[in-house]
A = this chain, B = another copy of it.
């Protein structure tokens, strides 16, 4: 037989007080005397009362809940960010509703609608690689739902963003590559319609120009941020017998795709073909060879985003001043893109 959930009313009846008294007591409202409050809490505990969140949120018109939308989840970057967001949320008594768009703009749109319908207090989002229709974000803004964009952001003015310094990070990586002697440098660029793709590309270009290294357009390929794209792009160049000496990939998964492809056709990294990537993962150190990368401090990104969001939620009725934070990256050299120290 199924237990019905205990409601405020059940407690109220038992103590011969009104439901509102119970509601207030459980929220430590000063209206209610200490003795009554204690008694109510005792009974609530005894009966195993848990508030009906739906009713509470409906009544309160907010939810103590934050919506998080990411394009992928089984990836180190997003996984780490999400974990940190959960930590901060938990510490501040917020629930997290996580939605995964799977890089599909349509799903993303639906998710955001759902989050608004759920009356989340705020949203943290990293958009998909194909997000173009920005109308939904306008609706979010008009509804007054605080939102913070992280890492991948749309081209909208006056929104909160937490970004990494993509351009500078990419620039430094390429600068390093040129300094250790590389001239034939390719770039698997993801999609440049999105900021991270565009800025990493710009960093790449700027370094190439500064050091007067020619960019071979055949070696600059767009297509995505996932493994399959890295794999396919590599294969395309390989089959055309037109591989550069070094490939700078827009993400860690893309580099993994290159690893897979290279291993499949029997090319050795870093000697036959070298790789460096933007973005990090805990295992990179143990790849064969250990993958050098531009490291993004995920904890910092997540913590910043949460801090901005919570601030926004608290002051949601005051004037909105967008905050744009840029987190710096670090070039971590391991077993790839290290020039003379190259493993033989």
Binding site for B on A (CB under 8 A): 2-3, 5, 48, 50-55, 57-58, 63, 72-76, 79-80, 82-83, 86-87, 90, 95-100, 102, 107, 113-114, 116-119, 139, 142-144, 227, 256, 259-260, 263, 281-283, 285-290
In contact, B73 and A102 (Cβ under 8 angstroms): no
- When distances are taken between beta carbons in the complex, the residues of chain B under 8 Å from A48 are 139
In contact, A142 and B3 (Cβ under 8 angstroms): yes
In contact, A97 and B97 (Cβ under 8 angstroms): yes
In contact, B54 and A63 (Cβ under 8 angstroms): yes
How many identical chains are in the complex? 2
In contact, A143 and B79 (Cβ under 8 angstroms): no
Among residues of B, the one whose C-beta sits closest to the C-beta of A51 is B117
- When distances are taken between beta carbons in the complex, the residues of chain B under 8 Å from A256 are 282-283, 286
In contact, A50 and B117 (Cβ under 8 angstroms): yes
Q: How far is the CA of A136 from the CA of B82 in the complex (A)?
A: 26
- When distances are taken between beta carbons in the complex, the residues of chain B under 8 Å from A142 are 2-3
Q: How far is the CA of A143 from the CA of B4 in the complex (A)?
A: 7
Q: Within the complex, which residue of B3, B52, B83, B288 is in contact with A74, where a contact is CB–CB below 8 Å?
A: B83
In contact, A143 and B74 (Cβ under 8 angstroms): no
How far does the Cβ of A71 sit from chain B's closest Cβ, in whole Å?
11
Q: Within the complex, which residue of B96, B100, B114, B143 is in contact with A5, where a contact is CB–CB below 8 Å?
A: B143
Can you spell out 18 A-B residue pairs with CB atoms less than 8 angstroms apart?
A2-B144, A5-B143, A53-B117, A54-B55, A54-B57, A73-B79, A74-B76, A75-B79, A83-B102, A87-B102, A90-B107, A97-B98, A259-B286, A260-B285, A260-B286, A263-B285, A281-B283, A283-B287
How far does the Cβ of A40 sit from chain B's closest Cβ, in whole Å?
18
In contact, A113 and B50 (Cβ under 8 angstroms): yes
- When distances are taken between beta carbons in the complex, the residues of chain B under 8 Å from A259 are 286
- When distances are taken between beta carbons in the complex, the residues of chain B under 8 Å from A2 are 142-144
In contact, B74 and A118 (Cβ under 8 angstroms): no
In contact, B54 and A58 (Cβ under 8 angstroms): yes
In contact, A50 and B287 (Cβ under 8 angstroms): no
- When distances are taken between beta carbons in the complex, the residues of chain B under 8 Å from A50 are 113, 116-117
Among residues of B, the one whose C-beta sits closest to the C-beta of A262 is B286
Q: Within the complex, which residue of B53, B281, B286 is in contact with A263, where a contact is CB–CB below 8 Å?
A: B286
How far does the Cβ of A6 sit from chain B's closest Cβ, in whole Å?
11
Q: How far is the CA of A227 from the CA of B283 in the complex (A)?
A: 11
- Most chain B CB neighbours (cut-off 10 Å) among A63, A259, A287: A287
- When distances are taken between beta carbons in the complex, the residues of chain B under 8 Å from A287 are 283, 286-288
How far does the Cβ of A102 sit from chain B's closest Cβ, in whole Å?
7
Q: How far is the CA of A281 from the CA of B283 in the complex (A)?
A: 11
Q: How far is the CA of A58 from the CA of B80 in the complex (A)?
A: 34
What 7 A-B pairs are tightest by C-beta distance, nearest first?
Answer: A288-B288, A74-B79, A2-B144, A54-B58, A98-B98, A53-B117, A3-B142
How far does the Cβ of A70 sit from chain B's closest Cβ, in whole Å?
11
- When distances are taken between beta carbons in the complex, the residues of chain B under 8 Å from A102 are 83, 86-87
How far does the Cβ of A300 sit from chain B's closest Cβ, in whole Å?
16
